[in-house]
Amino acid sequence: MLLELDNVKTYYGNIRALKGISIEVNEGEIVCLIGGNGAGKSTTLMTISGILTPEEGRIIYQGQSIISVRPDNIVQMGICQVPEGRMIFPLLTVMENLDMGAYLRKDKDGIKEDFEKVFALFPVLRERSKQAGGTLSGGEQQMLAIGRALMAHPKLLLLDEPSLGLAPILVDTIFDIIRRINQQGTTILLVEQNAQLALQFSHRGYVIETGEIALADTSAALLKNEQVKKAYLGE
Ligand code: ATP
């Protein structure tokens, strides 16, 4: 197992956002977390990234506890998050944004290789390499945010709502690329409000409701689950 969350509880002051979440991610998988607004999906990712510290529970990555490890050290250990809303640096160029993704690395050859990988996945980023990040379209900014995370050479990529605010045709493009990133060897934990899409593109899924795991199964089974169909697939 690559990552395990066991009974993780994360609070914002008195607000109990995660009430005991248990999740497993195996190497090579795409795992999705689906759920409505405010269910605790983003909180789960931020707890894994070390931005939030849980009150209780265990987070084990490659056999080691990562609770209380600093966020930059967690990145160095191979976990990298693409935050909701992209959060690229608007005034830096595309190239500079990508460079920021590699700021903790010293392996120059590896960085060069990963630049090429990112440009192969997102040719538009090469075309726009000198353009300021903030002047890119929404879809291009999402590509840049994913590309920047890949520049950290993650073993586990955490994606928060990659489809948010994108036109349907672009959403398909982004998800095809997410699948390719996975096929190239990166494990992915994905948060999505678009349950249909997330379940189509993942191996397994968890349904999260008000800070608790309500269902866990293969994505194929969740797509057929009556409860999921009613609550999340609009059927
Ligand atoms: P969305 O899809 O709307 O982003 P989510 O499933 O990602 O939803 P979270 O952002 O994890 O949900 O929020 C979980 C709960 O924690 C919500 O009730 C939310 O209001 C609360 N919450 C999130 N961030 C904070 C914060 N900074 N301070 C206080 N409460 C917060």
Residue nearest to atom 26 of ligand 1 (CA): 12
Q: Which atom of ligand 1 is nearest to the CA of 208?
A: 6
The predicted-structure confidence for 96-110, as pLDDT tens digits, reads as follows: 999 999 988 889 999
Cβ(14) – ligand 1 distance below 6 Å: no
Asked which of 46-60, 73-87, 112-126 is least confident by mean pLDDT, the reply is 73-87
| 159 pLDDT higher than 90 | yes
Average pLDDT, the chain: 94
> What pLDDT band is residue 169 in, cutting at 50, 70 and 90?
confident
Mean pLDDT for 33-48 is: 95
| 12 pLDDT higher than 80 | yes
The predicted-structure confidence for 181-224, as pLDDT tens digits, reads as follows: 999 999 999 999 899 999 999 999 999 999 999 999 999 999 99
Mean pLDDT for 65-90 is: 92
> What pLDDT band is residue 166 in, cutting at 50, 70 and 90?
confident
The alpha carbon of 47 and the centre of ligand 1 are apart by a number of angstroms equal to 12
* Sign of the four-CA dihedral 19, 191, 168, 235: negative
Mean pLDDT for 162-183 is: 91
Q: What is the pLDDT of residue 181?
A: 96
> Concatenated DSSP letters for the chain?
--EEEEEEEEEETTEEEEEEEEEEE-TT-EEEEE--TTSSHHHHHHHHHTSS--SEEEEEETTEE-TT--HHHHHHTTEEEE-TT----TTSBHHHHHHHHTTT---HHHHHHHHHHHHHH-HHHHHTTTSBGGGS-HHHHHHHHHHHHHTT--SEEEEE-TTTT--HHHHHHHHHHHHHHHHTT-EEEEEES-HHHHHHS-SEEEEEETTEEEEEEEHHHHHH-HHHHHHHS--
The alpha carbon of 18 and the centre of ligand 1 are apart by a number of angstroms equal to 10
The alpha carbon of 211 and the centre of ligand 1 are apart by a number of angstroms equal to 9
| 85 pLDDT higher than 80 | no
Q: What is the pLDDT of residue 168?
A: 87
Residue nearest to atom 1 of ligand 1 (CA): 37
Cβ(40) – ligand 1 distance below 6 Å: yes
Q: What is the pLDDT of residue 234?
A: 83
| 91 pLDDT higher than 80 | yes
Q: Which atom of ligand 1 is nearest to the CA of 191?
A: 7
Q: What is the pLDDT of residue 165?
A: 83
Q: What is the pLDDT of residue 145?
A: 94
| 226 pLDDT higher than 90 | yes
